[in-house]
Amino acid sequence: MKIGFVGLGIMGRPMAKNLVKAGHEVTVFDFNEEAVKDLAACGAKSAASGKELAGEVEVVITMVPNSPHVRAAVLGADGIAEGAKPGLTLIDMSSIDPTESKAIAAECEKFGIDMLDAPVSGGEPKAIDGTLSVMVGGKKETFDKYYDMLMVMAGSVVYVGGIGSGNVAKLANQMVVAINIAAVSEALTFAKKAGTDPELVYQAIRGGLAGSTVMDAKAPMMLNRNFKPGFRIELHIKDLNNALNAAHAISSPAPLTAQMMEVMQFLKSEGHDKEDHSSIVRYYEKIAGVTVEK
């Protein structure tokens, strides 16, 4: 399959590499020349713009930071829409505001472009090993057509509903993840403050009802003081901002999400916004006066 890939960041680069490894003919574009060269070394072709790339492929994947970046990559100067032939499919795997997914899809339709919104969860490790969770919105027949291709990058690919539904699911995911990390952080800080080894508390509770994928991924990072980003605080702030905007637009209360936004804003003010979101534990350590570590 001839695939275009726009956006070779922390997530996009390994995702594109997995498509190349699976034997697809992948053409890439990014402003980061080093990332483009890395993909070219793996067997991908490079394009000078989204416009050039779109004219050579049947489907384009975008993986960029936020709504304005998607809009620019697709509808801006030298963007995908300018080079698209009618019948092109756009799969936006960025995490953006679902209302903007709908608006961009409506603009794409004028160019004969069919769009899926297909944000991912799992962070850099799962992007590398091809086991991301993908949540997809759009036409069911388009989803079915590209399911196998998406599975090259994923452990699960789930159809959620019409366009925008993928990003609704992703924002729900990000709400749960943030609140879950905070719960783990609060509990391990409590254990440390009480004089009990937080590593042993983690081992004691991880097999029970409190156990979770988030706990198993993030508690060891906290205990080892490893805040190397798999998913940065600044990106989670972006997702929670989108979640709150979307929730407010439909009068859906989200008080815990709002609280997590304030926690993350504190971490940003302390200079931790480039760290992994497991550094949420730093907020609890700061107010409790202890350090959660082995």
Q: Hey, is 283 helix, strand or coil?
A: helix
Residues annotated catalytic, as ranges: 170
Do the beta carbons of residue 27 and residue 56 sit within 8 Å? yes
Structure tokens at 144: 């079915």
201, 191, 5: which is closest to 91 by C-alpha?
5
Rounded distance between C-alpha atoms, residue 86 and residue 58, angstroms: 10
Do the beta carbons of residue 282 and residue 188 sit within 8 Å? no
**Would you say how long the chain is, in residues?**
294
Residue 251 has φ and ψ, to the nearest 5°, of 55, 45
Query: Distance from CA of residue 12 to its chain's centroid?
Result: 10
